Amino acid sequence: MGTMKLTKKRHACVRLEKDGRTLVIDPGTFSEEDAAVGADVILVTHEHLDHFNEDRLRTGLESNPGAQLWTLASVAEKVSAAFPGRVHTVGEGDAFTAAGFDVQVHGQLHAVIHPDIPRITNVGYLVDGSVFHPGDAFTLPGQEIDTLLLPVQAPWNKISEVIDYVREVKPRRSIDVHDALLTDLARPIYDMQIGNLGGADHLRLSPGDQA
């Protein structure tokens, strides 16, 4: 098995490449229009527009006739009719292998934004037992991991919770995602506090950077 390469895309989207195959997580409205193009596997954590964009999904699935999508029911029902047999519904506890990637599904609900806003379904994906993308929640991967894709700034979190999440997961490194709303002025503060207090190596990548 080859080494997995991670490429940061805008906001919550990442591309993972291994042995000539590509897996993309959360090509949403804030990510690049071609974020899912060329993917063999697409994973979507939940239905919010910054994680799920129907046009980007369709572009990715149309660019590769062999590409398949794994996601929760609220997203699957929007695109499954157009791509019969290629859209799969998953939930907490599921595990599958796609294009050589082993994926485990963890989590059930989106984090609380406000008590007056109903919570929606959200799942996280652990890829090859190494890279964990929690979507919009502080879900635990259930095992030691190498890389935590860290939702660094969102309407539902604050930096103390972000730091405590890194401490609880205990990854070797955390890499910021969910960062499109974080201004350049604030980034050094987040970098310093998460890096100093999280207990793991902390990386902030620009779109297109690899790790």
- Specify the pLDDT at position 140: 97
Q: What average pLDDT score do residues 125-133 get?
A: 98
Bridge partners (DSSP) listed for residue 68: 41
Per-residue pLDDT tens digits for 94-103: 999 999 999 9
Domain ranges of the chain: 5-105+113-201
Bridge partners (DSSP) listed for residue 124: 106
5-105+113-201: CATH homologous superfamily? Ribonuclease Z/Hydroxyacylglutathione hydrolase-like (3.60.15.10)
Residue 195 CA from chain centroid, whole number:
21
Please identify which residue in the block is written with the tokens 């409205």: 29
Please identify which residue in the block is written with the tokens 């398949």: 68
Per-residue pLDDT tens digits for 149-167: 999 999 999 999 999 999 9
- Specify the pLDDT at position 70: 98
Q: What average pLDDT score do residues 127-138 get?
A: 98
- Specify the pLDDT at position 74: 95
Position 2 pLDDT exceeds 90:
no
Position 1 pLDDT exceeds 60:
no
pLDDT band at 112 (very low <50, low <70, confident <90, very high): very high
Q: Could you give the CA distance from residue 77 to residue 183 in angstroms, rounded to a whole number?
A: 35
pTM for the whole structure: 0.97
- Specify the pLDDT at position 60: 97
- Specify the pLDDT at position 135: 98
What is the chain written as a DSSP string? -PPPEEEE-STT-EEEEETTEEEEE---TTS-TTTTTT-SEEEE--SSTTT--HHHHHHHHHH-TT-EEEE-HHHHHHHGGGSTTSEEE--TT-EEEETTEEEEEE--BPPPS-TTSPP-B--EEEETTTEEE--SS----SS--SEEEEE-S-TT--HHHHHHHHHHH--SEEEEES-TTS-TTTHHHHHHHHHHHSSSEEE---TT-B-
Position 130 pLDDT exceeds 70:
yes
Q: What average pLDDT score do residues 5-33 get?
A: 98
Per-residue pLDDT tens digits for 56-88: 999 999 999 999 999 999 999 999 999 999 999
